[in-house]
């Protein structure tokens, strides 16, 4: 396996045919199988990431989407040096992640929405102090960065409370602050808004956008909340069954995967439009909404304009969460449906 190489100017992350295969023990149910497995242990290879290649430039925010088990988190773990790849090459800031060079680790962070790295029994500010020591941050810079993060994330007095007494959202904000004290250049964010209420999600989104702008940081973000992706990412990559199936603009994702478009038609008088497509909303009879095939927009629009008293007509792409859900069966959550 080749794990060497460097990134070119402007490139922050270069991934070339990166793969990860896990060996998983296999055993049939039952006593006989249990006894047999003592002497003849069987395993099978599970390909979590299959020869994925992409490049991310410095300062880009990229959404990394896909169903559960698609390989998103495994990829992030390989890029942050937690997992040793089974094949391929990865360069992050010119380092091979799995070498876990100290200079590399000082420039990255991985935030996992479901994991807590703060000291549970101590105030977050004590964990910040520990990060200062671990990352060798000069005291003056540390105080400045810490206070700035506390202000931007609206943490205030919360950092003085033991972490166990904080709510999930408060803890996540403190977790993010702790992850950014050393001012990393590359942020791997795995569901950073998981389980947070809408207000807190927005706050974290706006903070991340601001951090990216101020420090030209590279961000690779996975989230099941499409609002996160839509608000932060122009570019998305979609992974499914370990393979990268899309890498491009967020808008182009709909063009590639959406099997339908939506027409909102304003009529001078109510008309039944069911001959033109599936009527999905007729609550306002003179302004129905119909769903048509993705490649029928031109023909249906021409017919409507020629045959019906149309005053106005809008063609809309389906919401991005619908596209993802349809294409991959991904369970996505709109902002309004996010748990509080």
Partner 1 sequence: MTTPLSTPLSTLRWYGDLYLTMARMAIIEQFQYRAANYMYMIGMVAEPVVYLVVWSVVATQQGGEVGGLTPRTIAAYYIVWTLVRNMNIVFTPFGWEQRIREGQLSGQLLRPLHPIHYDLAFFAGWKVVVIVMWLPIAAVLAWLFRPEIDPRLSQVVVFAVAIWGAYLIRSMLLWMLGMVTFWTTRVGAAFDFFFTAELLLSGRVVPMRLMPDWAQTLARYLPFESTFGFPITALVGPITDAELVEGLIRQAFWIVAGSIGVALMWRRATKVFTSVAG
Nearer to partner 1, 9 or 298 (CB): 9
Place of tokens 């810490």: 146
- Whether the Cβ atoms of residue 250 and residue 63 lie closer than 8 Å to each other: yes
Angle of helix 139-152 relative to helix 168-180, nearest 10 degrees, comes to 150
Report in angstroms how near the CB of residue 279 gets to partner 1 at its nearest.
46
Q: Closest by alpha carbon to 179, among 117, 228, 125?
A: 117
| Rg value, the chain, Cα | 24
Residue 58 or 279 having the CB closest to partner 1 = 58
Among residues 214 and 303, whose Cβ is nearest to partner 1? 214
192 SS3 class: coil
Of how many residues is the chain composed? 340
* Residue 265: its H or E element: strand 260-267
Closest separation between CB of residue 131 and partner 1, Å? 8
Interacting residue ranges for partner 1, rule: CB under 8 A: 12, 22, 58-59, 77, 80-84, 100, 102-103, 105-110, 112, 114-115, 117, 119, 121-122, 126, 129-130, 132-138, 141-142, 145, 181-185, 214-218
What one-character DSSP code corresponds to residue 59? T
Decide whether 204 or 217 has the Cβ nearer to partner 1: 217
CA distance 276 to 235: 34
Smallest CA-to-CA distance from 107 within 178, 40, 187 is with 187
Distances (CA, A) of 237 to 53, 55, 252, 268, 309: 11, 11, 11, 43, 42
Q: How far is the CB of 191 from partner 1 (least distance, A)?
A: 11
Closer residue to partner 1 (CB): 85 or 318: 85
User: Which of 97, 318 has the CB closer to partner 1?
Assistant: 97
Q: Which residue is listed with tokens 């033991």?
A: 162
In terms of CB distance, is 106 or 291 closer to partner 1?
A: 106
């Amino acid at each position: 396996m080749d794990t060497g190489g460097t990134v070119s100017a402007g490139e922050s992350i270069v991934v070339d045919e990166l793969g990860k295969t896990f060996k998983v023990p296999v055993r049939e149910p039952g006593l006989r199988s249990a006894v047999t497995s003592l002497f003849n242990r069987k395993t099978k290879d599970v390909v979590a990431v299959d020869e994925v290649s992409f490049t991310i430039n410095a300062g880009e925010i990229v959404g990394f989407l896909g169903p559960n088990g698609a390989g998103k988190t495994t990829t992030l773990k390989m890029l942050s040096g937690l997992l040793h790849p089974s094949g391929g090459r990865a360069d992050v800031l010119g380092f091979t992640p799995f070498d876990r060079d100290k200079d590399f680790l000082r420039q990255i962070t991985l935030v996992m929405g479901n994991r807590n790295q703060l000291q549970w029994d101590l105030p977050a500010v004590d964990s910040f102090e520990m990060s200062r020591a671990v990352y060798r941050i000069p005291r003056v810079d540390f105080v400045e960065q810490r206070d700035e993060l506390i202000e931007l994330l609206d943490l205030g007095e919360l950092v003085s409370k033991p972490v166990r007494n904080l709510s999930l959202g408060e803890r996540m904000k403190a977790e993010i602050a702790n992850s950014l004290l050393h001012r990393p250049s590359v942020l791997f964010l795995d569901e950073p808004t998981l389980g947070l209420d809408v207000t807190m999600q927005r706050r974290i989104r706006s903070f991340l956008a601001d951090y990216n702008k101020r420090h030209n940081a590279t961000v690779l973000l996975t989230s099941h909340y499409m609002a996160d992706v839509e608000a932060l990412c122009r570019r998305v990559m979609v992974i499914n069954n370990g393979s990268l199936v899309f890498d491009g603009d967020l808008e182009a994702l709909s063009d590639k995967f959406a099997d339908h478009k939506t027409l909102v038609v304003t009529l001078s008088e109510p008309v039944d439009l069911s001959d033109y497509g599936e009527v999905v909303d007729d609550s306002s009879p003179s302004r129905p909404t119909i769903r048509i095939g993705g490649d029928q927009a031109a023909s249906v629009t021409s017919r409507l304009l020629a045959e019906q008293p149309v005053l106005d007509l809008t063609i809309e792409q389906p919401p991005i969460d619908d596209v993802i859900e349809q294409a991959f069966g991904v369970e996505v959550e709109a902002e309004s449906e996010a748990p509080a």
